[in-house]
Amino acid sequence: MHIPPFKDPNLLRHAFIHRSFLNEHRSEKQSNERLEFLGDSILSFVVSRYLFELFPDHPEGILTNLRSNIVNTRSLATVANDLKLGEKLLLSKGEEEGGGRTNTSLLADTYEALIGALFMDQGLAATDDFIHRSLLSQIQILTENLKDPKSLLQEIIQAQGLASPVYKVVSEVGPDHAKLFTVEVEVSNKPTASGTGKSKRLAETAAAQAALAKVGEK
């Protein structure tokens, strides 16, 4: 994996200017932070659209969790290392001596700045392609630890100091060989969401997904 050729080499260089570099080089007027701001938004958009199309049945809560797993600092820093972005950073002597070239947060920020610069240089299509090749190609690895909806809901609820969600079957319809279950999930003894499935387990999962969507709205 490599950085695509830029039409404007100065724009590419700008993506690697850390703010500490400005203190020792007065001729430089701007760090890469504005490009990082732009790249962060573009990255979020591209990943969100990718997940939206890849998982048409997932509610907002699950999609948000998936996106968080993909664009977290550690994941972006891993990609930045693969691209050897740390070697290209323009840092102050102090920042370099402090390990700036291998700093996880700084590397993740640089990857976002590179995305911003690529967008300005070549537009959305080329940037989308780069994000897919450099980051989204690893989606299976990045999301392998994603929790199932029931576990995720329980984690979120318990983090708020509340008791674990309770699942109750509220209806069973149809013949034994084609029964349809509806399950309601309660949080703090209050009905929160419901889901339907061909088994109790599937209905509970659907209910948890619906509850996560409500949690995401809040």
The answer to whether the beta carbons of residues 141 and 31 sit under 8 Å apart is no
User: Phi, psi at residue 193, to the nearest 5°?
Assistant: -165, 165
Contact 39/114 with Cβ under 8 angstroms? yes
Task: Based on the residue annotation, tell me whether 129 is a catalytic residue of this protein.
Answer: no
Cα 195 from Cα 214, distance rounded (Å): 13
**Contact between residue 114 and residue 3 where contact means Cβ atoms under 8 Å apart:** yes
- Assign 41 to helix, strand or coil: helix
Residues in contact with 187: Cβ distance below 8 Å, sequence separation at least 6, in sequence order = 157, 162, 165, 211
One-letter amino acid for residue 127 of the chain: T
Active-site residue (options: 36, 95, 109, 112)? 112
40 as an active site residue: the answer is yes
Amino acid (1-letter code) at residue 73: T
* Phi, psi angles (nearest 5°) of residue 93: -60, -40
Q: Of the residues 40, 109, 128, 204, which is catalytic?
A: 40
How many helices and strands, by DSSP H and E, does the chain display?
11, 3
Distance CA(105)–CA(108), nearest Å, equals 5
Q: Counting Cβ atoms within 10 Å, is residue 99 exposed (0-12), middle (13-18) or buried (19+)?
A: exposed
Which positions are catalytic? 40, 112
